[in-house]
Amino acid sequence: MAVVTILGAGAMGAALTTPALAAGNEVRLWGTWLDDDILAALRAGRPHPRIDVPIDQAAVLFDSGDLAAALDGAELVILAISSDGVVDVLRRAAPHLRPGLPLLVTTKGFGYDPDGKVGLLPPLLRAVMPGELADGCPIVAIGGPCKANEVAVGRPTAAVFGCADVGVAERAAALLGTEVYRLATTDDVDGIEASAAMKNVYAIALGIADGLAETGGEPWHNLKAATFAQAATEMQRLATALGGRAETAVGLAGVGDLEVTGLSGRNKVYGARIGRGEPATAALDEMVAAGQTVEGVAAARFAAELAEQRALDGLPLLGAITEVLAGAEEPAARITAAVLPAGR
């Protein structure tokens, strides 16, 4: 039993209270300044507004102003903040952290390092922490197919925790794992992070095949599956280019998470709207206006820039998605051309 503090009361942060409590921990859920409506709903005993699932009231709720209290005595901190906000939250939390405290990070995506190079999140997070924390707070990456609503209700879920010091990942897994939230561990942080960020990008392309099917009334399963195979190939290339291992991209954090992200979620839904014929930019504007972040859009831009900075080859699907997101005409034809073999 340990004190587990979850920063961020959105879908995934709240969902993780379920295994964290089931594993016997004291669980604290801190909401950002954007989460006030969520905490109000939970305090009133209503379901979590984002995932429509009740959250066990044994999780102690902390408002955004009570960050110090939420972190006091924490033995494991889970950063469950959107990629937009994670750096800001970590900066505010840093004064209340101590060396040796593991940070489990559910946030996925890319960012810029001080030299303007695109990179994965863990080094960027370390860069905003004071020196003794940057060296002393091990970052644990989470990968694997985890829809938050299913984690919250305790449906069987597999995830993988990754840390350069695999012993830290194993201790975090020992604190959070249950019979139904089961955890593998690895030292391949880069492989997890690259796969997790890119699956959101490629899910947009998977959604396009679904949108074509919705429009025509007939499945485009062959195209969706060819897209999946090409995405798996490109995820392996990006994982290795970023210092990870190809095998991670074809495990739980890679094809496993790609499978679930292609079944449901905002990235797939956005792709389906494009596949149905909506202009990519207008459809995105509508989703953003409705408060629906499509994480794959920003990740696609970063990944395209990264590919250019590092002169990476063999990423035609990423190239096609980038064009489609920029408003290119005939999006389905572009995706198709990128995923079918070049020969005849």
Rounded to a whole number, what is the distance in angstroms from the first to the last CA of the chain? Answer: 60
Q: Is 271 in the site for a second copy (CB under 8 A)?
A: no
Binding site as annotated, residues for sn-glycerol 3-phosphate:
108, 144, 199, 257, 266-267
Q: Is 14 in the site for a second copy (CB under 8 A)?
A: no
Residue 76, classed as helix, strand or coil, is strand
If the CB atoms of residues 41 and 223 are measured against a second copy, the closer one turns out to be: 223
Question: In the set 124, 255, 294, 307, which binds a second copy (CB under 8 A)?
Answer: 255
- Smallest gap from Cβ 105 to a second copy, in A, equals 19
If the CB atoms of residues 177 and 331 are measured against a second copy, the closer one turns out to be: 177
Q: How many CA atoms lie within 13 A of 149 on its CB side?
A: 10
Q: Is 151 in the site for a second copy (CB under 8 A)?
A: yes
Q: Is 80 in the site for a second copy (CB under 8 A)?
A: no
Q: How far apart are CA 163 and CA 104, in angstroms?
A: 9
Q: Is 260 in the site for a second copy (CB under 8 A)?
A: yes
Question: In the set 64, 178, 215, 293, which binds a second copy (CB under 8 A)?
Answer: 178
Instruction: Annotate 104-166 with DSSP letters as a single string.
Output: EE----EEE-TTS-EEEHHHHHHHTS-HHHHHHS-EEEEES---HHHHHHT--EEEEEE-SSH
Stretch that binds a second copy, among 25-33, 36-44, 140-148, 305-313 (CB under 8 A): 140-148
User: Which amino acid is located at 320 in the chain?
Assistant: A
- Smallest gap from Cβ 177 to a second copy, in A, equals 3
- What count of other Cβ atoms lies within 10 Å of the Cβ of residue 223? 22
If the CB atoms of residues 99 and 154 are measured against a second copy, the closer one turns out to be: 154
Q: How far apart are CA 12 and CA 150, in angstroms?
A: 10
Mask: binding to a second copy, 179-198, rule CB under 8 A, as x and -?
A: xx-xxxx-------------
- Smallest gap from Cβ 157 to a second copy, in A, equals 4
Q: How far apart are CA 161 and CA 173, in angstroms?
A: 7
Q: Is 228 in the site for a second copy (CB under 8 A)?
A: yes
If the CB atoms of residues 5 and 236 are measured against a second copy, the closer one turns out to be: 236
Residues in contact with 225: Cβ distance below 8 Å, sequence separation at least 6, in sequence order? none
Stretch that binds a second copy, among 61-69, 110-118, 168-176, 316-324 (CB under 8 A): 168-176
199 is catalytic: yes
Q: Is 43 in the site for a second copy (CB under 8 A)?
A: no
Residues in contact with 256: Cβ distance below 8 Å, sequence separation at least 6, in sequence order? 144, 145, 158
Query: Residue 33: exposed, middle, or buried by beta-carbon count in 10 A (0-12, 13-18, 19+)?
Result: exposed
Please work out the total of residues on this chain that contact a second copy, with binding judged by CB under 8 A: 56
Q: How far apart are CA 221 and CA 241, in angstroms?
A: 30
Q: Is 18 in the site for a second copy (CB under 8 A)?
A: no
Q: Is 48 in the site for a second copy (CB under 8 A)?
A: no
> Could you give the C-alpha distances from 166 to 25, 257, 313, 341, in angstroms and in order?
22, 21, 31, 39
User: Which amino acid is located at 326 in the chain?
Assistant: A
Give the binding site for a second copy (CB under 8 A): 23, 144-147, 150-151, 153, 155-158, 160, 170, 173-174, 177-180, 182-185, 218-226, 228-229, 232-233, 236, 250-252, 254-257, 259-260, 263-264, 336, 339-344
Q: Looking at the annotation, which residues are catalytic?
A: 199
